[in-house]
C-alpha cells in the first residue's frame, strides 16, 4: 500500500541525510497543491454568518504546522524542566495544549498584522518568528534574551514582527490592542490587530471599554478569547454568568472556533481579518485547553481531574490531529514524523544549552532603557555641568 511504499523509499534516503529536515520532506516539501480538509466542528456564530467548514491547506502547510507545533510543545516542556531546575524563576505560564491557536493564526495573517497577548506568550513569540535561543535566554534572564533579560517570561516582545507582547496584568492588553488597531487605522495600513486574552480576562471591565471603543470607531481589531476554561483555579462556569464569550460582544459579531484544530483557527482568523478590515471588530472564541496548570506554581490538578486532562490529550490534542491528517493524506509516514519530533527535540536542547552559556546582564543594565535620551536637556542630577534644549 502507499504507506509501505513511501516507507521503503524513505529508508534508503534517510541514512545519509539524518540531519536536515528539508530533505526529509523530499519532493513533498514543494507540494503546495491544495488539499481541502473539513474542520472538526462547524463554527458557531453570533450576529454573522459563519465561514465554511472546508479549509484549504497543502502538504507543505500541514507539515509546517506539525513541525512548528512540535517545536512549541517541546519548548514548553523544556521550560518546565528548566523551571524545576530553578533556572527559570518567578512566574512561568506554559502554553502546551494551546499551540493550534498560535499556529493557525500565523497561517492566516502577515507580519504586518499585529498580535498582542497576555503572559502566556512563549509560543506566540515563536510563531511570530522569535528564536528559541532568544526565548530561553529571556526565560533565564540573560542579556541575549529578546528583552535583554529584563522582561522575563511575561514580557516577550518582537517589534519587527509586530508582536507587542507579553503583558502581566490580566486584561490590560485589551486597550493596548485597541490602540494598535487605532494606529493602523490612523496610518491607513491595511492591517489588523489580534488582541488575545483569556476566559479570565473576559470579565474585565477594560475589555468592554475597549470593545465599545473598537466598535464605535470601526477599528480593525480582532479580539480573540483563548478560552481554556479555567481562570487559574476557577472554572469558567464559576466566574462567568455567560460563558459564551463570543456572544459577550453584544453588538459585535462573534465566532466560536475549536481552538485545538489548527485549520479551524486558520479559517476563522482569515475570515476575521477580512471582516475587521471592512466592518470593524469581531470576537473569536477559541475553545482550547492547557495541559499544565495556570503557571508552574500551580499543579493544575486541584481544580480539575487528571482524567479530564488526559482525556483531552487523547481526543483533542492539536499535534495528534495534524499528525493523523498528514498520515491520512500520505504526506509523510509515522516514522518520519517521529524523526521530525526527535530533530525538534535536539534543536530545543541545543538552544537551551546555548542559552545556559549566555551572559547575565551587566549591573549597568539596571539603569538602561528607563528613559530615552536625546531630546532636550541633559541633566545628571546634582552634578550637571551644562544644560541645553535643542529644537531638532
Name the residues that contact other proteins, by CB under 8 A: 114, 116, 145-152, 155, 157-159, 164-169, 172, 174-180, 182-187, 205-206, 209-210, 212-213, 216-217, 368-372, 374-377, 379, 381-384, 386-392
What is the three-class DSSP state of 203? helix
Min. distance of Cβ 292 from other proteins in angstroms? 23
Angle in degrees, CA 183, 195, 167, rounded to 5: 100
Min. distance of Cβ 58 from other proteins in angstroms? 33
Strand pairing partners for 223?
A: 195, 283
Residue placing its CB nearer to other proteins in the complex, 39 or 117: 117
Residue placing its CB nearer to other proteins in the complex, 166 or 259: 166
Burial 324-357 (b: 16+ CB within 10 A, else e): ebbeeeebbbeebbebbbebbbebbeebbeebee
Min. distance of Cβ 382 from other proteins in angstroms? 4
Residue placing its CB nearer to other proteins in the complex, 8 or 187: 187
Residue placing its CB nearer to other proteins in the complex, 162 or 227: 162
Min. distance of Cβ 302 from other proteins in angstroms? 29
Min. distance of Cβ 79 from other proteins in angstroms? 19
Residue placing its CB nearer to other proteins in the complex, 66 or 182: 182
Cell digits of residue 161: 514582527
Residue placing its CB nearer to other proteins in the complex, 70 or 221: 221
- Neighbouring CB atoms inside 10 A of 305's CB total 9
Burial 139-166 (b: 16+ CB within 10 A, else e): bbbbebbbbbbebbbbbbbbeebbbbbb
Min. distance of Cβ 384 from other proteins in angstroms? 4
Chain centroid offset of residue 182 CA: 22
Going by C-alpha positions, the residue among 269, 159, 182 that lies closest to residue 223 is 269
Residue placing its CB nearer to other proteins in the complex, 172 or 277: 172
Q: Which residue has the cell 456564530?
A: 45
Angle in degrees, CA 362, 354, 122, rounded to 5: 85
Min. distance of Cβ 26 from other proteins in angstroms? 39
Give the DSSP H or E segment for 136.
helix 132-139
Integer Cα distance of 273 and 47 in angstroms: 16
Amino acid at each position: 500500500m502507499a504507506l509501505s511504499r513511501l516507507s521503503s523509499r524513505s529508508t534508503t534516503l534517510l541514512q545519509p541525510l539524518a540531519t536536515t529536515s528539508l530533505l526529509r520532506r523530499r519532493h513533498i516539501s514543494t507540494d503546495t497543491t491544495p488539499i481541502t480538509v473539513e474542520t472538526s466542528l462547524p463554527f458557531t456564530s453570533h450576529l454573522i454568518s459563519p465561514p465554511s467548514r472546508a479549509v484549504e491547506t497543502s502538504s507543505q502547510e500541514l507539515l509546517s504546522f506539525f513541525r512548528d507545533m512540535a517545536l512549541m510543545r517541546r519548548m514548553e516542556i523544556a521550560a518546565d524542566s528548566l523551571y524545576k531546575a530553578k533556572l527559570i524563576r518567578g512566574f512561568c505560564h506554559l502554553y502546551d495544549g494551546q499551540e493550534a491557536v498560535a499556529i493557525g493564526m500565523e497561517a492566516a495573517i502577515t507580519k504586518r498584522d499585529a498580535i498582542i497577548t497576555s503572559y502566556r506568550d512563549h509560543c506566540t513569540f515563536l510563531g511570530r518568528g522569535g528564536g528559541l535561543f532568544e526565548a530561553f535566554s529571556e526565560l533565564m534572564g540573560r542579556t541575549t534574551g529578546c528583552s535583554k533579560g529584563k522582561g522575563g517570561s511575561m514580557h516577550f516582545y518582537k517589534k519587527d514582527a509586530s508582536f507587542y507582547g507579553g503583558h502581566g496584568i490580566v486584561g490590560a492588553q485589551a486597550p493596548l490592542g485597541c490602540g494598535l488597531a487605532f494606529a493602523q487605522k490612523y496610518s491607513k495600513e491595511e492591517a489588523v490587530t489580534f488582541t488575545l486574552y483569556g476566559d479570565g480576562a473576559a470579565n474585565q471591565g477594560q475589555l468592554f471599554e475597549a470593545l465599545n471603543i473598537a466598535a464605535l470607531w470601526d477599528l480593525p481589531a480582532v479580539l480573540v478569547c483563548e478560552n481554556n476554561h479555567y481562570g487559574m483555579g476557577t472554572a469558567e462556569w464559576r466566574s462567568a454568568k455567560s460563558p459564551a464569550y463570543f456572544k459577550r460582544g453584544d453588538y459585535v459579531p462573534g465566532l466560536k472556533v475549536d481552538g485545538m484544530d489548527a485549520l479551524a483557527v486558520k479559517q476563522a482568523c482569515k475570515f476575521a481579518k477580512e471582516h475587521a478590515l471592512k466592518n470593524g471588530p469581531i470576537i473569536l472564541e477559541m475553545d482550547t485547553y492547557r495541559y499544565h496548570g495556570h503557571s508552574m506554581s500551580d499543579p493544575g490538578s486541584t481544580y480539575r481531574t487528571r482524567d479530564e486532562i488526559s482525556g483531552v490529550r487523547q481526543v483533542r490534542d492539536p499535534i495528534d490531529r495534524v499528525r493523523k491528517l498528514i498520515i491520512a493524506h500520505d504526506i509523510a509516514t509515522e516514522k518520519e514524523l517521529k524523526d521530525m519530533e526527535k530533530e525538534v527535540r535536539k534543536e530545543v536542547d541545543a538552544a537551551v544549552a546555548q542559552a545556559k552559556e549566555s551572559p547575565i546582564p551587566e549591573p549597568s543594565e539596571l539603569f538602561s532603557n528607563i528613559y530615552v535620551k536625546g531630546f532636550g536637556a541633559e541633566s545628571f542630577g546634582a552634578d550637571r555641568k551644562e544644560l541645553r534644549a535643542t529644537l531638532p
